[in-house]
């Protein structure tokens, strides 16, 4: 248990049997009336976002989330298999739990898996990854109708926009949160 005064970004709360991650919080002390905490919560499993207001000092139940460094090993049917690098223990995760992270996963890549009572909640990627462009059309000099970018397919199958000068086989750095091209690697 914690109070609303202890809230921090990334903290996991157990509200009415569901797990919610605190994405934003603000302590408000109006001139008249009691203080309160305005929060933005994201459902850990469904991704739904809600706004919720708590009275200041109210007790809220926190959930224990165990974050472990894992390495993506391989895909077995429709399950993604991750290995704990310290114990060599393997964990299988469904595609629904992996979500959009599958667009950036390569064998041997280090990720963080969040566990709650033995169940994997989500896969957390590094802020950026280096991937190779598997296919892109040649850029035409002087073609600026698309703002100087063209579509490129990465080795994982994800399609992103890259500058015209990049060619097939080039390694690029990609932001895993937005899917944006960050630069050559």
pLDDT bin (cut points 50, 70, 90) of residue 134 is very high
For residues 145 and 89, the model is more confident at 89
pLDDT at 145: 60
Contact 13, 60 (CB under 8 A): yes
pLDDT at 53: 93
pLDDT at 142: 64
pLDDT at 184: 87
pLDDT at 39: 94
pLDDT at 25: 92
pLDDT digits (tens, 9 = 90+) for 109-119: 999 998 888 88
pLDDT bin (cut points 50, 70, 90) of residue 77 is confident
Structural domains of the chain sorted by starting position, each given as residue range(s) with its CATH number in brackets: 2-60 (2.30.30.30), 66-124 (2.40.50.140), 128-184 (2.40.50.140)
The stretch 122-138 carries a mean pLDDT of 89
Contact 114, 120 (CB under 8 A): yes
pLDDT at 36: 92
pLDDT bin (cut points 50, 70, 90) of residue 72 is very high
pLDDT at 177: 85
- Paired tokens of 177: 């949160």
For residues 145 and 45, the model is more confident at 45
pLDDT at 118: 85
pLDDT at position 70 over 90: yes
pLDDT digits (tens, 9 = 90+) for 11-58: 889 998 889 989 899 999 998 889 999 999 988 888 889 999 999 889
pLDDT at 141: 65
């Amino acid at each position: 248990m914690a109070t609303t005064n202890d809230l921090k970004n990334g903290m996991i709360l157990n509200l009415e049997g569901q797990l919610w991650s605190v994405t934003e919080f603000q302590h408000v002390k109006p001139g008249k009336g009691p203080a309160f905490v305005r929060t933005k919560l994201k459902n850990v499993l469904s991704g739904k976002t809600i706004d919720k207001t708590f009275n200041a000092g109210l007790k809220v139940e926190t959930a224990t989330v165990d974050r472990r460094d894992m390495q993506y090993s391989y895909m077995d049917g429709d399950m993604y298999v991750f290995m704990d690098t310290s114990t060599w223990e393997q964990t299988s995760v469904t595609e629904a739990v992996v979500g959009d992270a599958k667009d950036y996963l390569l064998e041997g890549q280090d990720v963080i898996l969040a566990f709650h009572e033995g169940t994997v909640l989500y896969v957390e990627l590094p802020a950026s990854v280096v991937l190779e462009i598997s296919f892109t059309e040649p850029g035409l000099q002087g073609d600026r109708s698309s703002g100087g970018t063209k579509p490129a397919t990465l080795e994982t199958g994800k399609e992103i926009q890259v500058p015209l000068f990049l060619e097939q086989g080039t390694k690029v750095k990609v932001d895993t949160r937005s899917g944006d091209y960050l630069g050559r690697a």
